[in-house]
Structure 1
Amino acid sequence: MARFISGRAVAVTFGVLALTLAGGGFAAAQATTAKPVAQTGQPGARPVASVGQPTVTPAEAAQAKAALREGVSPSFVAGSTSFAAVSSAGVLLRGRDSVSATRYGPGQYQVIFNHSLVRGGYVANIGDAADCCVPPTGEVSVAPRLGTPNGVFVQTVDSTGAPSDRPFHLAVFTP
């Protein structure tokens, strides 16, 4: 059977898409002074009431390690996409390779997967928990979960930039 799209073409396409969505600009390194602990979280485009990621508790670290120890599911293929659909209450509704979701506070969530996400890419959007409806307005940011190689930190805000609980869909691309 003929192969129409090579793996390299797919990788280049995702790279171009990521650069396009990120603005595709260049950044220059600047010398900075050490920031106070309260300012060393996830940066946002607008100032929000939250100051970053909550600290990983020993119980959460143990849960994440247990998910890695249990092994990768038979459906996981390197270079594939894992996903999670999470409610505004932080409940994992459905997903592929996702193990759990946790809500920390207004608009702050953690999603754990059953494989390492190091060197992976994350894309999220505000999405309705049901399969029928238009989601509420707002914005979403994603980042690696600090101290958890198989976790993603998700922050949601309303249209004014205030932290707000929003359901979301998260896709993780792993090499």
Structure 2
Amino acid sequence: MSTSFRRKAAAVTFAVLGLSLAGGGIAVAQPTAKAPAEAVQPAARSTNAQPPVTAESARKAKAALKSGATTLAASTTIVVVNANGTRARGTGTVIKYGVGQYEVQFANTVTNAVFVATIGRADACCIPPAGEISVAARLGTPNGVFVQTRNSAGTPADLGFHLVVHTS
């Protein structure tokens, strides 16, 4: 009895699959509408290279490392940064390089840390503007995190953000 049932189930499965591919698969494989001629690919983004470390940034990084411990057992540090590059709350020193380019320096080394950032506002009002955010370890600065913010079109834009750094 079970062999008969398995054969019928297999036959029904193949029949449904065949009908699905014959009916819907052809429509998907050969769309009737063509893309408009004026449709273009989005512009390629920049190389996303970090700006070079300035003497001022290096000086601040060394001062921050001297003021704090260089190793921690495990810690989580937060900072909330306004769009203009000022620190709203949390710890760390914020340096604004250009449109949408920020560096946040901490009193400890963050080279093996985990960085999490999101677009956000410092106040409790309103929903933040839509956009994109990227974080990376700051090249040449062991206690720094580089943050790049962009609008939804991919153009660099000054946007406030929340940054969480977890070291273990």
Instruction: Give your verdict on TM over 0.5.
Output: yes
Post-superposition, which runs of at least 4 consecutive aligned residues in structure 1 deviate over 2 A?
Answer: 46-51
Do 1:88 and 1:167's aligned partners in 2 also have CA atoms closer than 8 Å?
yes
Aligned residues: 126
Partner in structure 1 of residue 61 of structure 2: 64
Q: CA deviation at 1:47?
A: 3.6
Alignment partner of 1:140 is 2:137: no
Do 1:48 and 1:163's aligned partners in 2 also have CA atoms closer than 8 Å?
no
Partner in structure 1 of residue 81 of structure 2: 86
In structure 2, C-alpha distance between the alignment counterparts of 1:72 and 1:64, rounded to whole Å = 13
In structure 2, C-alpha distance between the alignment counterparts of 1:47 and 1:155, rounded to whole Å = 16
Q: 1:77 to 1:132 in 2, by over 3 A?
A: farther
Percent sequence identity is: 48
Alignment partner of 1:172 is 2:154: no
Q: CA deviation at 1:58?
A: 1.5
Do 1:47 and 1:161's aligned partners in 2 also have CA atoms closer than 8 Å?
no
**Aligned residues: CA RMSD:** 2.0
**In structure 2, the residue corresponding to 1:65 is in which secondary structure?**
helix
Normalized per residue, the structure richer in helix is 2
Question: Unpaired segments of 5 or more residues in structure 2?
Answer: 1-42
**In structure 1, the residue corresponding to 2:63 is in which secondary structure?**
helix
One-letter amino acid matched to 1:164 = A
